[in-house]
Structure 1
Amino acid sequence: MDQGEVLEHVALRARSAGRPVVVGISGFCGSGKSTLARHMVEALPGAVRMRGDDFLDPARSHLRSADWDGVDRRRLVSSVLEPFRGEQQGDFRRYDWAARALGVPEPVPRADVLVVDLIGLFHPEALPSLDVTIWCDVELDVAVSRGMARDRALGRRHEALWTDVWVPNEREFAHEFMPREHAELLYASSQ
C-alpha cells in the first residue's frame, strides 16, 4: 500500500470504531516508521503521536536480544495504550535521553487516534493493544543502509551498534515473532 491508501484505511477505522484507536507502526530500524507516523498525524484530524523512542531502555536497547527486550512494551501498554483505548485518565513517563532517566509524569493524550512507531512493537505483549498494525515493508539491508545514513547525517557514530547489535536483534526478532505477518497493512516505504 502507498501512504494515501494507508491513511484512508486508518481514517475509516477511526470513524467506525466508536472509541479511540491505536495505530501501531513497526518495521526494521531505518524502515521509515517515524516518517510515516509524522505524516499520518499531520494528515489525520484528531491524531497524536507517541514516539517509540520514549519507551526504549537505553542500556538494554544497546544489547543483543532475540525479543528486543530494550523496548519497554509493558510500560507502553500499561501506562499509555490501555488507558488511551479505554478513555481513562492516566499518567505516563517518557524516557528523557538527556537526563538518562524517566521524565516527569505526563497525562495520557486524549485524541481519536494514537499513532505509535516502534521497533519490536508487534510482540505478544503489545499486539492485543493495537487496533491497526502497519509494517513498513522494507528489506532489512535497505532499512539498515537508510538508518546508518540518517545517523551519520545527524553526527551519530553507531556503526558497531548497527552491525553487532541492532541488525542481529532485527533478524532474531523477525525469525521468532514474524512481525510482518502480524501486520494488517504493508506500507511500501520509499522514505
Structure 2
Amino acid sequence: MAVATRLTGQTLRYRRTMVTAEDLPELIQDERRRAGRPITVGISGYCGSGKSTLARHLAAVIPGSLRMRGDDFLDPARSHQRSHDWDGVERERLVTDVLAPFQESRASQFQRYDWSRRELGAVERLPLADVLLVDLIGLFHPQALKHLDVTFWMDVDLTVATERGMARDQSLGRNHESLWRDVWIPNERDFGAEFDPRSAAEFFVTAE
C-alpha cells in the first residue's frame, strides 16, 4: 500500500502526519477547498519510481481532476542526452502554457509531444478542472515549484527505481540498458545533487 508522510519540519496543515493511499484524494480536495481556486499537484521521483501509477490512480478517484502526463512535456531527443538539470524536461513551456494559467483559471493553449513523430503535436485548449495532476521527472526545479500547490515525492531508492524501470522496459520489448546506465541514472544523480528535489516535496510516497 502506498503511504504518504509529510516531511518533518514543515508547517502541518493536516492533523495527521501519515496518510494512506485511500486518504490522498480527500487530502487533495481539502487543499482545493482551502485554496479557493484550481490547484496543481506535482508528482516527481526517479525514473521507474511509480509516478505515473500514482497519477493515474488519483485521476481516477478525484472528481474534477485532470492528468497531464510527464511525457507530454519531455523532449524525445533531449531526454536521451546527458544533462545536469534534466534539460529534456520543458519546464518553461509547462509553466507558461499549463501550470500558471490553470492556477489562474485563465484560457490557454498548449502542445503535447507526439512521441511517435518525435515532435510537438497539435495545439490544444487547456481544459478546465479543479485539480491538475502532473507526474514528471525533473519537476521539482525552482522554475516550476512555485506553480505547484501540492508536491509528492515517490520515495523509492534510485537503485530500486532503476530496477523497476528496466524491468518495465524489458516487458514492453524496449532495450534501454545503455540509456539507463549512461544517461538516465547519471542525470538523476546530477539533478539530485544540484536541486535536492526530495527536500522540496511536501509529502513522501512509499510502497509497503
Q: TM-score under structure 2 normalisation?
A: 0.89
- Is the 1:31–1:189 Cα contact (8 Å) retained in structure 2? no
Does residue 32 in structure 1 map to residue 50 in structure 2?
yes
The structure carrying a bigger strand percent of its residues is 2
1:158 deviates by 0.5
Structure 1, gaps ≥5 residues long: none
Does residue 75 in structure 1 map to residue 93 in structure 2?
yes
1:158-177 to 2 correspondences below 5 Å? 158-177=176-195
Moved over 6 A (4+): none
Match of 1:97 among 85, 98, 115: 115
1:105 deviates by 0.5
Structure 2, gaps ≥5 residues long: 5-19
- Structure 1 counterpart of 2:25, which letter? L
1:21 deviates by 0.3
2:163 is aligned to: 145
Select the structure of larger CA radius of gyration. Answer: 2
1:100 deviates by 1.4
More divergent stretch after superposition (89-98 vs 8-17)? 8-17
SS in 2 for 1:133: strand
Match of 1:181 among 183, 195, 199: 199
Q: In percent, how many aligned pairs have the same letter? A: 61
1:9-28 to 2 correspondences below 5 Å? 9-28=27-46
1:6 deviates by 2.9
2:10 is aligned to: none
- Structure 2 counterpart of 1:86, which letter? E
Query: How many angstroms apart in 2 are the aligned matches of 1:13 and 1:69?
Result: 31
- Is the 1:37–1:116 Cα contact (8 Å) retained in structure 2? yes
Match of 2:145 among 100, 106, 127: 127
Aligned length: 190
2:64 is aligned to: 46
Query: How many angstroms apart in 2 are the aligned matches of 1:110 and 1:70?
Result: 27
Summarize deviations over 1:28-78 as a string: whole Å, max 9, x none: 000000000000011110111000101011111001111001100001110
More divergent stretch after superposition (27-36 vs 9-18)? 9-18
More divergent stretch after superposition (4-13 vs 144-153)? 4-13
Query: How many angstroms apart in 2 are the aligned matches of 1:169 and 1:17?
Result: 34
Q: TM-score under structure 1 normalisation?
A: 0.97
- Structure 2 counterpart of 1:8, which letter? E
- Structure 1 counterpart of 2:86, which letter? W
